[in-house]
Structure 1
Amino acid sequence: MTTHEEELRVASWNIEHNGRGRDGGEDHRHLAHDILAEFRPHVLFRQELTGAWDNGKRDLYAEANRLGLIPFMSLPKEGRSRNPVGVMIDPSLFLTDAHFDHDLPWKAICNPQVRLKGCPKQLCLASAHLCHFDPSLRETEARRLTVLADSGRSALFGIDANSYPHRIGEEAVSLPDWQQVADRVHYEHRTVERNGQRGSDTRPDEILSGGKGVFVDLGHYAGTVLKQPGALAATASLKRTDQGPAQRIDRMYCTPDLVPALRHFEAVVTDEVGEVSDHALLVARFDLAVLRRILTPTH
């Protein structure tokens, strides 16, 4: 069994409205930080960093300081989403080489490029929150994510995909029955036309992990290959009932070269997680020694 000292822990979480509480609701920021601190992540992919840029990015640094991590965040632009994404990394394990924001029509992708200390090969990290209202834009965002793996690069990222896994028969949760979904706007946002019929939008996942497999869906791999219970659990919405049953829309991906290092993956759905957000917390654990070997090519 891999010990805590021998593993790399990676988390991804859409903390609803950054834990601030919508419309005067309860502030859950401290509880969110406490939950994350229990898992001691070395890498954290965050979505919905709402308001984290205010007051000199005070909220961003408060979260990073609580976790002992260095933060990166894409900044919102006028007329676009006010819920940016970010990545945080453990400075005791990683050196930062560069930080890019991939500017897209609705929301940027936050993309630091790092190296595990002592390893020569770079690792591209990214956090993304695909557009909630436009399937065509989600396709563009997914195709943009594929550039992370260009030229033989190694990559690892977490996303709120706002769309569905494409290997329908291998999932633990059935896709929505759209005849039973009450929210008509949600139907327009989450369905696409194929062969003259409307159905669930699975195109981003097809782009990312279908075809020749640019990336591997860690939840799918853990659930089907490693046979780990809970890896394919639904992630959102944990609260709403008018959009059909919860689905596995939050996912983590990596390039195929990193997969041998994966040891465990889970979608954490507890009462406390549900109190903070309408999304589950994703946690992946990698064998750090194997990961170091992968990122130290012999030729």
Structure 2
Amino acid sequence: MLCWNLENNGQGDPARRRAGDELLRQLAPDIAFRQEVWDADANGRTIFHEQARALGLQGVLGAGSCTAVFYNPAKFSVVRDWTDSRGPRFVLPPTALTLRYEDARPHALPLNAVSYHLNYASAVQRLLEAEWLTTWADKGWTTSDGCCHALPAIFAGDNNSYAAGMPGELPLPDLATVKNAPHRLHRSYAGPSGERLPDTRPDTAFRTAGLEDVARYWATSPHGTANALARTVNACDTHGPDSRVDRIYITPELLPTVTGFEVIEVDGDLSDHHLLRLTLDAELLADVLSPVMRR
């Protein structure tokens, strides 16, 4: 099973949008997490339906065309759409679906798939949004035998912030070298002494809630590669160095199903963010979702 994540800043240009869709179609994903699908809801969601046809997938478009989740209907079906229960907590609302994996055993657990885009301008708002997102890692599901299980979950999105340092990780920016003063503010927060610090708090919040950064996991796996920690946004004069602001987090029980993770660089005409591709083992996923295997 393939999952990929791409922010589409070329959405407003039909030619660029179709080129991006073609790139993604060639990867044949089973779940696709999207951000910034602007105008996809216009004219009765004409653009959104066009993209679904181009990808050969079905999907759900979140409020304001901020995010979307596409899925392969031969592999997944929607059990619950959380769009209307998002509340007033997000500037750019996420798209969150509970999906049933069709190849799993009868009465297997579904899983949650969440596409999100944390706020660009406020570290305070980002932390609030990250904390609320973790509620989808805490959803219970009662099986036919009366047992309640926490649902596995996958979160993919643009964090507009940095990952806390680890060996091999891209270094945090020296804020003094970021030439754009508003951007220095947007990507930092005030520490205890009042000094501005690069914002890593959403990453810390996700991991405090027990979620795993798949790139970190794969980079340290015996079968993993250093590319897992590659940049997802290129350096520029005003905004600072290469950074890994786009990340995929999963609940721990899904870690054994991971068989690959990579960053695929895309042309800047298609997006100013690169593409993340996560590969899961289908049989192991079916086992993880089996209530018998999870007791």
So what's the TM-score if we normalise by structure 1?
A: 0.88
Specify the alignment match of 1:11 in structure 2. Answer: 4
Structure 1: segments with no counterpart, 5+ residues: 1-7, 77-82
Distance (Å, rounded) in 2 between the aligned partners of 1:38 and 1:143: 35
Q: How far does residue 34 in structure 1 lie from its aligned partner after superposition?
A: 1.1
Q: How far does residue 239 in structure 1 lie from its aligned partner after superposition?
A: 6.8
Specify the alignment match of 1:62 in structure 2. Answer: 50
Specify the alignment match of 2:147 in structure 1. Answer: none
1:93 aligns with one of 61, 67, 75: 75
Specify the alignment match of 2:273 in structure 1. Answer: 279
Spell out, residue by residue over 1:218-253, the C-alpha distance to the aligned partner (whole angstroms, 9 max, x if none).
1111112243131000101x3743111120000011
Instruction: Map 1:86-165 onto structure 2 (within 5 A).
Output: 86-101=68-83, 102-103=86-87, 104-117=89-102, 118-119=104-105, 120-150=108-138, 151=140, 152-165=150-163
Distance (Å, rounded) in 2 between the aligned partners of 1:257 and 1:54: 39
Distance (Å, rounded) in 2 between the aligned partners of 1:131 and 1:99: 22
Distance (Å, rounded) in 1 between the aligned partners of 2:216 and 2:289: 23
Q: How far does residue 169 in structure 1 lie from its aligned partner after superposition?
A: 3.1
Look up the SS of the partner of 2:247 in the other structure: strand
Structure 2: segments with no counterpart, 5+ residues: 141-149
Q: How far does residue 33 in structure 1 lie from its aligned partner after superposition?
A: 0.8
* Contact 1:146/1:214, CA 8 A, preserved across alignment: no
Distance (Å, rounded) in 1 between the aligned partners of 2:235 and 2:32: 23
Spell out, residue by residue over 1:257-290, the C-alpha distance to the aligned partner (whole angstroms, 9 max, x if none).
00100010011114xx333010000000011000
* Contact 2:10/2:269, CA 8 A, preserved across alignment: no
Specify the alignment match of 2:143 in structure 1. Answer: none
- 2:282 is matched by which residue type in structure 1? L
Q: How far does residue 59 in structure 1 lie from its aligned partner after superposition?
A: 1.1
Residues 49, 239 of structure 1: alpha-carbon distance in 2 compared, 3 angstrom cutoff: farther
Specify the alignment match of 1:269 in structure 2. Answer: 265
- Would you say 1:253 and 2:249 are equivalent positions? yes
Distance (Å, rounded) in 1 between the aligned partners of 2:168 and 2:116: 22
Q: How far does residue 16 in structure 1 lie from its aligned partner after superposition?
A: 1.0
Q: How far does residue 17 in structure 1 lie from its aligned partner after superposition?
A: 4.6
Spell out, residue by residue over 1:79-135, the C-alpha distance to the aligned partner (whole angstroms, 9 max, x if none).
xxxx51010110000121110122324121111111101442010011000000011
Instruction: Map 1:20-35 onto structure 2 (within 5 A).
Output: 20-21=12-13, 27-35=15-23
Look up the SS of the partner of 1:11 in the other structure: strand
* Contact 1:73/1:87, CA 8 A, preserved across alignment: yes
Q: How far does residue 52 in structure 1 lie from its aligned partner after superposition?
A: 0.4
* Contact 2:90/2:129, CA 8 A, preserved across alignment: no
Look up the SS of the partner of 1:16 in the other structure: coil
Distance (Å, rounded) in 1 between the aligned partners of 2:251 and 2:36: 25
1:290 aligns with one of 268, 277, 284: 284
Distance (Å, rounded) in 1 between the aligned partners of 2:94 and 2:35: 10
Distance (Å, rounded) in 1 between the aligned partners of 2:200 and 2:169: 16
Distance (Å, rounded) in 1 between the aligned partners of 2:283 and 2:240: 42
Percent of aligned positions that are identical: 28
Distance (Å, rounded) in 1 between the aligned partners of 2:278 and 2:62: 23
Q: How many residue pairs end up in the alignment?
A: 275
- Would you say 1:172 and 2:169 are equivalent positions? yes
Look up the SS of the partner of 1:61 in the other structure: helix
Which runs of structure 1 show a deviation greater than 4 angstroms over 4 or more consecutive aligned residues? none
Residues 116, 206 of structure 1: alpha-carbon distance in 2 compared, 3 angstrom cutoff: same
Q: CA RMSD in A?
A: 1.5
Distance (Å, rounded) in 2 between the aligned partners of 1:91 and 1:43: 10
Distance (Å, rounded) in 2 between the aligned partners of 1:234 and 1:220: 13
